[in-house]
């Protein structure tokens, strides 16, 4: 009498389980994709923060320029403006401050650093932008400033720097060929260039 061995049906290829090698490859691919997504997310975050900081500086410049156009006056026949508005750039404090200076005729210069402008449009009441605490800009730093000319007592060679607007809307201290104000965050940077006439631009 012949005894036949039990017959087990062969599993099809589609019903096979994953091998250890296949599982390791899958995990590796998922890891690579996740790392790429995280890098892209970090890049996007840095770009967003730098853009917000740059736009805040541009807004401060526009505000100072508008104030100069609206409030600048002249005195006597020399047409010397008696009021000036501008922005003070303090790299150590990481701040941008809109200031108001008056003309010191006795010394033929502006009374810098001037008075910080107050306006209810700004949350703090004063026109000071602290990039360390400004919404959406935390971590962004002012890494370099390069402006031409002098603002009386400031030679714009060390912080704080001054960019001063005149009654006709032009500035005495516009950006040079290179970036006027450089912002940095997470290994990335952008710049705000201030022209002699007109609004600043982000590069």
Tally of domains within the chain: 1
In a domain, 3, yes or no: no
In a domain, 58, yes or no: yes
First to last CA, the chain: 92
pLDDT score for 41: 44
In a domain, 194, yes or no: yes
In a domain, 15, yes or no: no
DSSP-assigned beta bridge partners for residue 170: 197
Range of the domain at 107: 34-202
In a domain, 76, yes or no: yes
Other C-beta atoms within 10 Å of 39: how many?
10
pTM for the predicted model, two decimal places: 0.71
In a domain, 112, yes or no: yes
**Tokens 């306006």 found at:** 119
Integer angstrom CA distances of residue 142 from 25, 36, 90, 179: 44, 29, 8, 12
In a domain, 13, yes or no: no
Give alpha helix (H) positions in the chain.
Answer: 20-71
Tens-digit pLDDT profile for the chain (203 aa)? 555 555 555 555 555 666 777 776 676 667 666 555 454 444 568 899 999 999 999 999 998 888 888 765 555 445 556 677 889 999 999 999 998 887 777 777 777 777 777 766 565 557 888 999 988 898 999 999 999 887 766 778 889 999 988 877 888 888 887 889 999 999 999 999 999 988 899 98
Other C-beta atoms within 10 Å of 179: how many?
19
Residue 22 burial by CB count (10 A; 0-12/13-18/19+): exposed, middle or buried? Answer: exposed
| Contact between 203 and 191 (Cβ < 8 Å) | yes
Secondary structure class of 147 (helix, strand, coil): strand
Other C-beta atoms within 10 Å of 83: how many?
20
In a domain, 123, yes or no: yes
| Contact between 120 and 145 (Cβ < 8 Å) | no
pLDDT score for 85: 86
CATH number at residue 162: 3.55.40
């Amino acid at each position: 009498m012949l005894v036949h061995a039990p017959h087990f049906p062969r599993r099809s290829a589609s019903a096979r389980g994953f091998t250890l090698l296949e599982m390791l490859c899958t995990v590796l691919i998922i890891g690579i994709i996740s790392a790429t997504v995280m890098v892209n997310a970090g890049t996007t975050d840095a770009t967003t923060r730098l853009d917000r900081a740059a736009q805040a500086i541009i807004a401060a410049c526009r505000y100072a320029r508008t104030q100069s156009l609206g409030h600048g006056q002249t005195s006597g026949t020399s047409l010397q403006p008696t009021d000036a508005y501008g922005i003070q750039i303090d790299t150590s404090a990481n701040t941008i401050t809109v200031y108001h200076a008056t003309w010191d005729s006795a010394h033929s210069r502006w009374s810098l650093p001037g008075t910080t402008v107050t306006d209810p449009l700004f949350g703090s009441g004063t026109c000071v932008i602290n990039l360390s605490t400004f919404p959406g800009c935390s971590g962004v730093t002012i890494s370099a400033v390069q402006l031409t000319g002098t603002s009386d007592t400031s030679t714009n060679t060390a912080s704080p720097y001054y960019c001063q607007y005149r009654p006709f809307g032009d500035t005495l201290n516009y950006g040079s060929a290179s970036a006027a104000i450089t912002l940095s965050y997470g290994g990335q940077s952008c710049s705000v260039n201030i022209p002699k006439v007109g609004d600043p631009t982000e590069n």
